[in-house]
Amino acid sequence: MSLHPNIAPDSAALAEEPAPADYLLRHLNAESEWRASFAVMQELRPMLHSEEDYLARLQRQRQQHYKLLAVWQHGEIIALAGYRLQENLIYGRFLYVDDLVVTGRCRGGQWGARLLQELEDIARFERCEKLVLDTGLSNALAQRFYFRQGLLTGAIRFSKVLGDTSV
């Protein structure tokens, strides 16, 4: 049974305020739910060219304990947060947010803030020391949003494209 009134029974976190009756936060576990989330995720990740590619990636990521939390409103997915619990030497135990997206027509409705608060609640429940996420340096709107939510910059991530890995 869930400790959180906003989330269906498959997850546990602590609530501070009750959910309005018109939305539900729930982890997606079935392939049909993943399919239903594709269009919203594609807004954040346009490199996902097909639903089949998306499903294959979700299957692989779930083996690494990736979870996908959705905001459902009137039976439709309007926002998603993909995350995983991890541990490393720099952060200790932490919740890493891979993906956070609100469908374009619903932005400005505080759905991103609600998802981030839910993730923070889950992280606290799981005894994490931090909530961590990355955003592009050119994504000023996301950065402003994260600052408003109390997140601070703590690092710059470097990466290098290694080319075609299909060989």
pLDDT, tens digit, for every residue of 101-132? Answer: 999 999 999 999 999 999 999 999 999 999 99
pLDDT, tens digit, for every residue of 55-88? Answer: 999 999 999 999 999 999 999 999 999 999 999 9
Kind plus residue range of the DSSP H or E element containing 101 = strand 92-102
Tell me which fold the domain 23-148 belongs to. Answer: Aminopeptidase (3.40.630)
Contact by Cβ (8 Å): 106, 119: no
Q: What's the pLDDT at 18?
A: 42
Rounded alpha-carbon distances, angstroms, from residue 26 to 34, 79, 101: 12, 11, 15
Contact by Cβ (8 Å): 69, 115: yes
pLDDT band at 22 (very low <50, low <70, confident <90, very high): confident
Q: Cα separation of 103 and 108, whole Å?
A: 10
Q: Cα separation of 123 and 119, whole Å?
A: 6
pLDDT band at 167 (very low <50, low <70, confident <90, very high): low
- Does the pLDDT value for residue 2 go beyond 50? no
Q: What's the pLDDT at 112?
A: 96
Strands 92-102 and 130-133: parallel
Strand ranges of the sheet holding 92-102, from the earlier edge strand across to the other edge? 23-27, 67-73, 76-88, 92-102, 130-133
Q: Cα separation of 132 and 86, whole Å?
A: 10
Tell me the average pLDDT across 21-38: 94
Q: What's the pLDDT at 7?
A: 52
Render 47-95 in DSSP notation, one character per residue. T---HHHHHHHHHHHHTTT-EEEEEEETTEEEEEEEEEEEEETTTEEEE
